Structure 1
Amino acid sequence: MKKILTMTFFSILCAGMLSGCGTDYDTADSTVFAFKDGSIVSTDVEKFDTGTYDKDDLEKYVNSEIDSYNKSDDGDVKLKSLDVEDGKAHLTVSYGSSKEYSAFNGTDMFCGTIAEALAAGYDFDAEFASIEGGKAKSCDKKDFIDSEGYKVVIYKGTSNIHVESDILFSSVDNVKLVDDKTVAVGSGYDIFNQSADSTENTEAAEPVSQTESTESTESTEASGGSVSDDDILNAVTEEQEVTFDFDKDDNEEEASYITYIIFK
């Protein structure tokens, strides 16, 4: 879900706040939020060395990239918050659609009806489970593929995925249930084995809160902005060029998985 901000080190998967109140996007883990109307919000959480880098310069860069994208693509990307605390950067960005999210971040994401997904060429070639009461049960895609009224999120990446209503079906591999509306995606996860460890996501996944997050949004709410993924994170100001390098963990590797989440 992703434009790479630093070619070798740091990738920011954007996050943003949509107009519908009630969801807290200030999550402990990077999360993509998908809504029934097709709009997308994503929150990216990454290490940020405040002793070396400056939040204001990062914010200027993010805003510049968003403005550039919106002007060139008639986009609707909006920076809602950028907060740095406890050695981590929390970036929140909203998108008008999954198509816009894909275009901006350089990754594959779809949010719409199952019929629309099939028409777009997605074949649902995966093992699936039905979800009820926090329990996963093996099922076949024929159990939902021809049903009307279902929405599907198809995502290529390793971020958590949160949908607007309860998850009804999910692909199995590299997926772990976090709560009724959220899954974590990472190597080693299996939806039938909730105790499985992931080598991709080292922090424990936490349920998504449903209370409005107000901290760190006011200062950036008024300024539109965005993050560009394929660019090396170099923020250029009139006075000087600022370069951000964000170190990954030594054992962290780039990986992505195709995940299907069906809700209604």
Structure 2
Amino acid sequence: MNKKLSMLLPVIATCGLLAGCGTDYYTKDSTVFVAKNGSVVSTDVEDFDTAAYKQDDLQSYVDKSIDDYNKKNDGSIKLKKLTVEKKKASLTMSYASTDEYTDFNGTKLFSGTIAEALAAGYDFKTDFAAIDDGKAKKCESSEFLDETGYKVVVYEGSSNLHVKGKILYASVDKVKLVDDKTVAIGDKYSLLASQTTGTESATESTEAVKADATEGTENGADDSVSDDDILNSVKQDNEVTFDFDSEEDNSAPVSYITYVIYK
């Protein structure tokens, strides 16, 4: 879960904002989706104490946080959908760029070419593996650093990471390959220890519906997140009617630096 969202509901210790809505971005686990143009959709999934808090209160608080940011920063963050079901909260948000995602969440996210990443100060000084047919094989960064046609995402968080392309290389530490577009991130993972991916593991981790799938509807309205949705967000004006700040939880979420190189 990203840092900013974890602070939005400080009184809900291990709970928080969840996402995972919209046809194209449904997922059972918190996931950051990065498009090749640098736009982002985040899905955060956590437990939610339905006995203590109501969905409407959560909705108002999130709306206010997004609206305040957009007004102060000329931002284009958009809340696509927020649901609370069976003590689970689900939140899907879109951002025009990785910079906007980083600024709002306090979690670093970079997307660009390898040359742009190097210019931004990312040194690629970590262990890497090449990915081929679901198998990971240790390699040196020199194998891809001079490639001009590759894109890279650098993420300093703990959610799953999904790119709009085929993953060719990835950093090894704290990473597990879910499918050819997605990696899971966590203490128990090592890319070289997870050599294959299958239908069962992919289903258990991230269930992102393919971009060309038929868009879903809810009460006749389109709930999917398209590229236009990401770039053309709509501000929402709601008053805050619930105080979530009475008990603060200042614990910092665990995060890792993950590199994903794709084409």
CA contact (8 A) 1:128 1:139 kept: yes
Q: Does 1:260 align with 2:263?
A: no
Distance in 2 separating the partners of 1:225 and 1:137? 47
SS at match of 2:188: strand
The corresponding residue for 2:66 is: 66
- Deviating more after overlay: 107-116 vs 95-104: 107-116
SS at match of 1:236: coil
Closer/same/farther in 2, CA of residues 82 and 223 from structure 1, 3 Å limit: farther
Closer/same/farther in 2, CA of residues 189 and 61 from structure 1, 3 Å limit: same
Identity score, percent? 51
CA contact (8 A) 1:2 1:106 kept: yes
Distance in 1 separating the partners of 2:260 and 2:157? 13
Matches within 5 A, 1:206-245: 206-210=206-210, 211=213, 212-215=215-218, 224=235, 236-237=240-241, 241-243=242-244
Closer/same/farther in 2, CA of residues 90 and 13 from structure 1, 3 Å limit: closer
Which amino acid is 1:33 matched to? F
Per-residue deviation at 1:245? 9.1
> Number of matched residues?
237
The corresponding residue for 1:159 is: 159
Distance in 2 separating the partners of 1:130 and 1:11? 35
Per-residue deviation at 1:256? 0.9
CA contact (8 A) 2:34 2:162 kept: yes
Distance in 2 separating the partners of 1:244 and 1:29? 26
SS at match of 1:68: helix
Which amino acid is 1:121 matched to? G
Matches within 5 A, 1:1-264: 1-3=2-4, 4-7=7-10, 9=13, 10-12=15-17, 24-194=24-194, 204-210=204-210, 211=213, 212-215=215-218, 224=235, 236-237=240-241, 241-243=242-244, 254-264=253-263
Higher helix share: 2
Closer/same/farther in 2, CA of residues 63 and 6 from structure 1, 3 Å limit: closer
SS at match of 1:243: coil
C-alpha RMSD over aligned residues: 3.1
Which amino acid is 2:153 matched to? V
Distance in 1 separating the partners of 2:101 and 2:252? 23
Which amino acid is 1:242 matched to? D
Deviation digits for residues 49-108 of structure 1 (CA, Å, limit 9, x no counterpart): 222211011111111111110110010100111111121111000000000000000111
Distance in 1 separating the partners of 2:118 and 2:223? 41
CA contact (8 A) 2:158 2:255 kept: yes
Which amino acid is 1:259 matched to? T
- Give the alignment's TM-score, normalised by structure 2: 0.80
SS at match of 1:29: coil
- Give the alignment's TM-score, normalised by structure 1: 0.80
Stretches of structure 1 that go unaligned for 5 or more consecutive residues are 18-22, 196-202, 227-234
